[in-house]
Structure 1
């Protein structure tokens, strides 16, 4: 048994572990960092479980479980890390290319998320019935919503080294930024209906969706423009970096208070500052400091996030039967992704090369910490156990298999165009 850790203690442990494992990977394994940290975290979890099986008196699993229990994964990611990650990702997206593909991005991040939610929800209901697990249909759609947001921003650095067209790069990045926000809104609406058991009013759900999504976009535009004007009036890199931190932390908190989408707000604010701010409001010196600062923030947070995903295996050790259901869910999620992006892409063959865009967006549609955080935010009960186990298996496959192979695959697909 360990005493409750303070937030600083928990952060210190995670940073130390991330640094050690990151060094080992860079020195010996040379895998993509997110893949390496997830794999090493999962292997460490398996080692802990094995030690407990051989030496029951060690109680290592209990210690690690208590440590992870002290970390509010949902609060840490959804009301902390996510705002920084989305802002940092948006800063590196070309707004001109994004505008050219605005309709495609809008449809993929709204229609695509909703269609994926419905397909995964219906398929998951069938799988659970075949497995003899009683999961109400409403909770199956909750699972569809939490697993549909993708995190393909991680492949953008690889995309830039291939001959993938700029419009496709912007489409992949734009969809990843905005489907996170849309997915969180859809999840919140469906979860409220599932918990209450009152059913879902499509009209009311549509109103909530529009208010949260459009309200978040308006707030992001407002705070981004204010920050842009403030940075344009001075030339001091330390103050300008501080202004961007104020946008992320203050803007996200304001969005939460106004009950609008913080993720959408941060994506829009990041686009404003990363394009207009970087181009017109900063000196070369400030631009260099600012961009390097946000690259470092992005790397550190991703390292901690994917290490946490790997360590979750300890918590799931007692749910091995449910993990089998998770394995069956992997092809279902990939199929839903194929249909939800494939159908729109068929109509855009003159704008985006289908033979390249389809595999890039399906195999590059990585699931990550957002899905894990949403699953862990579910109210305690048997439904949470089922959904967390299925989510973990999908995310682990996505990060390790898809994330580990996307680089060579993109180079092959890109070179084929």
Structure 2
């Protein structure tokens, strides 16, 4: 019953937090962590622990896979140098800086490096949850950085654990070898897994089986990579990026629609559950400390947090200065960022559940385990609360220019797709043996849509208004149709099976219209 009670408590907390947080002006993850801390006081839930393998084997692959499916590979290629620097070198710099500062404050080198490794990487799921309002370029860099830096941090963590337990000699050659295996092996496993499962997916036609294959992809990629001691995180990300390029033209619309709904809902639940579980874990982390070390531990948290901010901001400025000095190409000037943009990137560098999972994975035989878990867990909460509340204000202060390229590309794509469909209509109609009346109605519909899309900029607002009126009226008609078939079912004129069939068609049309509205407004 404890497992069922925990599931019910998690779902209630996710629902309450997601509804209440916007009304309080708080980021939802911040409130979810707070609700988790309150749940830890409920009898029966006080003993709940967040197993690190649950994050590393269940939450992380699924969440990172969806993030990699929905990110922009073109933007990653364009900004690859900065992403690689932030995802590798910045993690090492941050971990080293935190380790040095904590050791100076009395922490052993082993524990200091473990804490540094845990707090080195940003968290992709937190960036996605709290990064609303970020400029597109900053958002892409942060998400891509978060997708690869866990691999770097886990290598540093393995070296730190091995050193603390006397099992590994932390030589530069050893570290370089492990890092190379982690990255090269992870990339290779991700590509192979994506290639194989895509071949399987092309042979499937049932939407449920297609999406079962989709769910299997990140879990299999992570498992295979970890088996050869490569980066499971990087394998999942590479598999996701590969699938994002090859599946759009190979997957049927019903499977894609079902998959989008599944992934959107499941990642919402997993994200929320992760933050609640972090909150539940915190009181237990504090309980592992004795009262005479609690004050010192809080000093360590503050020192580590300030060190992280300084290291990140300093690295961003230094790396950009070096790049500008070395690369004098005109193209490089188009990639330059401002001081305010770097402040935004610093504040948006959240730490999350991955950091806590790394700390919880520390063997119980280490005498400093309680300190490691407490400092890391408290740091994560401080990061969520302070940076989560500050980020919207910092974004407004930065006044970064809007990126209109997506809007322009949307217009270009819609015009091109509609025009080419209209040009192909006579040939397609003849091949299908369509009646003249059908051809006339379709031609009129597509010509009207093309004319609306090609409105000049001066008439753009008026065209948008007309399209919105048409969409709204169509949605009202769908609602009227739905009410009619429900009435017919209640009058026993039609069967429930008939109702579900027609309702499914109406729902598909409504989802299409609502999706079109949201995409045009973005």
Give the drift of 1:267. 0.9
When residues 326 and 13 of structure 1 are mapped into structure 2, their CA distance, relative to the original with a 3 A threshold, is: farther
Aligned partner of residue 47 in structure 2, secondary structure: helix
Residue 240 of structure 2, aligned match among 255, 262, 270:
270
Give the drift of 1:77. 0.9
Measured against aligned partners, the alpha-carbon deviations of 1:37-77 in whole angstroms (never above 9, x if no partner) come to 112222444x56xxxxxxxxxxx5xx544332xx5x21111
When residues 155 and 143 of structure 1 are mapped into structure 2, their CA distance, relative to the original with a 3 A threshold, is: closer
Give the drift of 1:108. 1.3
Q: Which residue of structure 1 aligns with residue 58 of structure 2? A: 80
5+ residue gaps, structure 1: 49-59, 130-134
Give the drift of 1:400. 1.7
How far apart are the structure 1 equivalents of 2:88 and 2:234? Answer: 12
CA contact under 8 A between 1:159 and 1:410: conserved in structure 2?
Answer: no
Q: Residue 298 in 1 paired to residue 267 in 2?
A: yes
CA contact under 8 A between 1:158 and 1:410: conserved in structure 2?
Answer: no
Q: Which residue of structure 1 aligns with residue 48 of structure 2? A: 67
When residues 200 and 155 of structure 1 are mapped into structure 2, their CA distance, relative to the original with a 3 A threshold, is: closer
CA contact under 8 A between 1:38 and 1:400: conserved in structure 2?
Answer: no
Q: Which residue of structure 1 aligns with residue 181 of structure 2? A: 211
CA contact under 8 A between 2:341 and 2:400: conserved in structure 1?
Answer: no
Q: Residue 329 in 1 paired to residue 304 in 2?
A: yes
CA contact under 8 A between 1:227 and 1:273: conserved in structure 2?
Answer: no
Q: Which residue of structure 1 aligns with residue 17 of structure 2? A: 25
TM value normalised by structure 2: 0.68
Give the drift of 1:151. 1.1
How far apart are the structure 2 equivalents of 1:265 and 1:197? Answer: 26
Residue 110 of structure 1, aligned match among 88, 96, 100:
88
CA contact under 8 A between 1:118 and 1:144: conserved in structure 2?
Answer: yes
Aligned-CA RMSD value: 2.4
Q: Which residue of structure 1 aligns with residue 99 of structure 2? A: 121
Q: Which residue of structure 1 aligns with residue 425 of structure 2? A: none
When residues 285 and 160 of structure 1 are mapped into structure 2, their CA distance, relative to the original with a 3 A threshold, is: farther
CA contact under 8 A between 2:48 and 2:281: conserved in structure 1?
Answer: no
Q: How many residues align?
A: 383
CA contact under 8 A between 1:149 and 1:367: conserved in structure 2?
Answer: yes
Residue 400 of structure 1, aligned match among 385, 406, 429:
385
CA contact under 8 A between 2:17 and 2:35: conserved in structure 1?
Answer: no
Measured against aligned partners, the alpha-carbon deviations of 1:278-307 in whole angstroms (never above 9, x if no partner) come to x32223333222223222222111111111
CA contact under 8 A between 2:133 and 2:392: conserved in structure 1?
Answer: no
Residue 188 of structure 1, aligned match among 158, 164, 173:
158
Give the drift of 1:228. 2.8
Greater RCO (CA < 8 Å, at least 6 residues apart) = 1
How far apart are the structure 2 equivalents of 1:198 and 1:94? Answer: 39
Q: Compare CA radii of gyration and give the structure with the larger one.
A: 2
How far apart are the structure 2 equivalents of 1:339 and 1:99? Answer: 24
5+ residue gaps, structure 2: 325-332, 403-522
CA contact under 8 A between 2:350 and 2:387: conserved in structure 1?
Answer: yes
When residues 345 and 160 of structure 1 are mapped into structure 2, their CA distance, relative to the original with a 3 A threshold, is: farther
TM value normalised by structure 1: 0.84
When residues 66 and 370 of structure 1 are mapped into structure 2, their CA distance, relative to the original with a 3 A threshold, is: same
How far apart are the structure 2 equivalents of 1:202 and 1:85? Answer: 33
Q: Which residue of structure 2 aligns with residue 37 of structure 1? A: 32
Give the drift of 1:22. 2.4
When residues 152 and 313 of structure 1 are mapped into structure 2, their CA distance, relative to the original with a 3 A threshold, is: same
Stretch of structure 1 that moved more, 178-187 or 15-24: 15-24
Q: Which residue of structure 2 aligns with residue 55 of structure 1? A: none
CA contact under 8 A between 2:194 and 2:217: conserved in structure 1?
Answer: yes
CA contact under 8 A between 1:98 and 1:167: conserved in structure 2?
Answer: no
